[in-house]
Amino acid sequence: MAFINIPKGKQDRPQDRPCNLKFKNISDIKYWVFDLDNTLYPSHCNLFSQMSSRMTSFIENELTLSQEDAFALQKKYFKDFGTTLRGLMENHNICPKYYLDYVHDIDLSIVESNIKLDQILQKLPGHKYIFTNADRNHAQRVMKKLGIEKNFKDIFDISDGDFMPKPHLSTYQSFVHRFGIVPEDSIMLDDMAKNLVPAADLGMTTVWIMTDALWAQPDGRQGSVDKVHYQTEDLTAWLETQLCPS
């Protein structure tokens, strides 16, 4: 089976070019590393807007700030620390579990079950893992809503990485060490292009799940343009193409 499949009409984009691809066949992939949010479900579900509102109200309540000031601090910590949580932990000694439980207490009704994705995941060879900046409980809820939870061997969440979010290299090192993953035998899929940089640096093949979000695009300043080996707007269709190339 040929592994490579680049969408027609997009061959001129630099991130479409395969870079040092090691897999000739899909059966060569031993480890599948999936991000969760906006990767396993479509970004139009916009769960982040619910989480963002809850982050703001959490900060309002805990730090006794106006909504406007709370939102500004939320964004500043996201920019400065990689996650709002990290800034709250460093500067305000916030208990991460308390914050994560609050922020992820959201309505998942917009996330539809994805039977096709479930069927494809069952057919993919190799072990599948979730590698997320969210928490385990949220990952389990989302996977259950999608109906795909039985396909995954394990979850590596924000607490497993000692609350250092992707794309901190140390978190990727902890992830591969925890599960005995061989990066060269792995493929990682994520909607944030910058999260693919350490994965590629470790030797993984990468797939960018394209969204319209500006902060998720490949960016030369992050070094992510050359670290995106494949891209697709539709995870399920892309995986199916790998299983059944035309």
Interface residues toward Mg ion, by CB under 5 A: 35, 37-38, 191
Least Å distance, CB 19 to Mg ion, is 22
Least Å distance, CB 77 to Mg ion, is 18
Least Å distance, CB 49 to Mg ion, is 14
Least Å distance, CB 209 to Mg ion, is 8
For 51-103, what is the HEC assignment? Answer: HHHHHHHHHHHHHCCCHHHHHHHHHHHHHHHCCHHHHHHHHHCCCHHHHHHHH
Closest among 137, 65, 60 to 96, alpha carbons compared: 137
- Eight-state DSSP code of residue 13: S
Closer of 23 and 34 to Mg ion (Cβ): 34
Closer of 151 and 195 to Mg ion (Cβ): 195
Least Å distance, CB 207 to Mg ion, is 12
Closer of 15 and 38 to Mg ion (Cβ): 38
Closer of 35 and 157 to Mg ion (Cβ): 35
Is the CB of residue 31 less than 8 Å from the CB of residue 187?
A: yes
- In single-letter form, the type of residue at position 203 comes to G
Tell me the C-alpha distance between 71 and 50, whole Å: 13
Closer of 79 and 123 to Mg ion (Cβ): 79
